[in-house]
Structure 1
């Protein structure tokens, strides 16, 4: 039979980022700007405040509702406070972030089992028949790990169908609000010019123009009150729009971030399938002489590379799960900032 060297490394290579991590491995979806911007988006969506533009506020609330469906470390902490075993169930929590942590914990468990099982498979002195049986037994373990991906993929695709239209609607309204704000500020400028003109007229009135002076003073008082009201309203709208625009800055990465997460999960699903079919073929096709040969089996399973990568995956998954309750960082406010 022809040996297959790809499948023993498929899961680890799909799960881990390819960069050298100097003993600090990371899961692949953590690598790059998209995930960072997604966390900023979720954080900022939760901070939207009501403002004078009711339509904009409603659109921002729709985005906040979608962000809540994804979840945060804070909402995960709240979930675990009421349901401590939420991450230990056979199905993931409805909250997507909690579901991601649930999946990573299952990935860690599967990697631990695979490493232990394959190490025991290569212990010296094991009969070929026992090794063949053990290889066949890997199939259900692989399928269980693969099956855990489907519910998270379904949840992400459903969330994508909700959050992208909500984000697009908010962006459209924000553009209109920006136009409205500019018009308000131009109107304020004209109002200030009118006030300045009246103040100039008052300054040049003679002593015997009392009636005219009172008329102008009353007009000036009313205009100053209007200016104060309109300025306050314009400032409220500016602050409302500022928060929305900060959210939308990260919203530009939204589709990419979701697609990268989906791609990571799809890649893992394919990798588990490759591992399952590869070990099944090995169990079916290998001769007793081959399976009884420790060196041949170790080379076929690429143990020199596979075992350290399984351990790296265990480490990366444990690190991610351990940090899962730590709040996402707040988004920077510097214009043009890129991670």
Structure 2
């Protein structure tokens, strides 16, 4: 099969399109023929090995060279073969998943516990936009933020991959939603259901005087101390991401916020994306919201498989509203 393989850190052009052996599913795995995948900040951070401090951490990308050879954390496709212990799927089934790696290839093996039937109303392209970004938004709001109906939610970075899902999920859960984005994306965020939009090019949301029960912070554009000003006394600052940096950022910003956590009344928590791969029930929850018409993937651009490096370069600019997807 053909796959884009990462053998060393560098620019997206270090991704090498090559022929490798087709994977063989284990007893509890499903072999999926990839019809679509997506790119996201997770990919270009791994390609560049940044921030450098992450290479020193357990479970990090690898000190001198990448630990992950084939990137691509989102997959939508068809079941090609199943392991002997797999009971919930059979060849030909349409599925989507977040296996953490392997999507930048024609085939990938996925554990049955990471897999769910593809929402019938979505194309492969749309389904590939869902897993990582939507699970991050779902867990950040529902589990980390402990969102309740009627609460006020502020989403910083409301027009990005996670943000576009977060606006819709928060509204589906009965929240009053304010989105922070640029002027050019304000109409998009309103169309997703935001009750109010703050244009960060014209207004600093941390100085508005308004208070929120949850701040889902995808952008990391303001210091933690400033972010706490917009929260109610028992509010939650859920940190998802932030601007890139070669050495420390966004790790340094996240660390400083968590250090302050024991000394303030608000909860400060870092979203744990790993949980997205541990329970396919999250994907089933999202499917329910999608089939009910409450959540729709926002796709900015679509690239063919051969142009994955170009897609990653575009994603790295940070200007994509919604998701960037790849079709095979």
Q: Which bin holds the TM-score, normalised by the shorter protein? A: under 0.3
**Rg comparison, structure with higher value:** 1
Q: TM-score, normalised by structure 1?
A: 0.20
**Larger strand percent:** 2
Per the normalisation by structure 2, the TM-score is: 0.21
Point out the structure with the larger helix share: 1
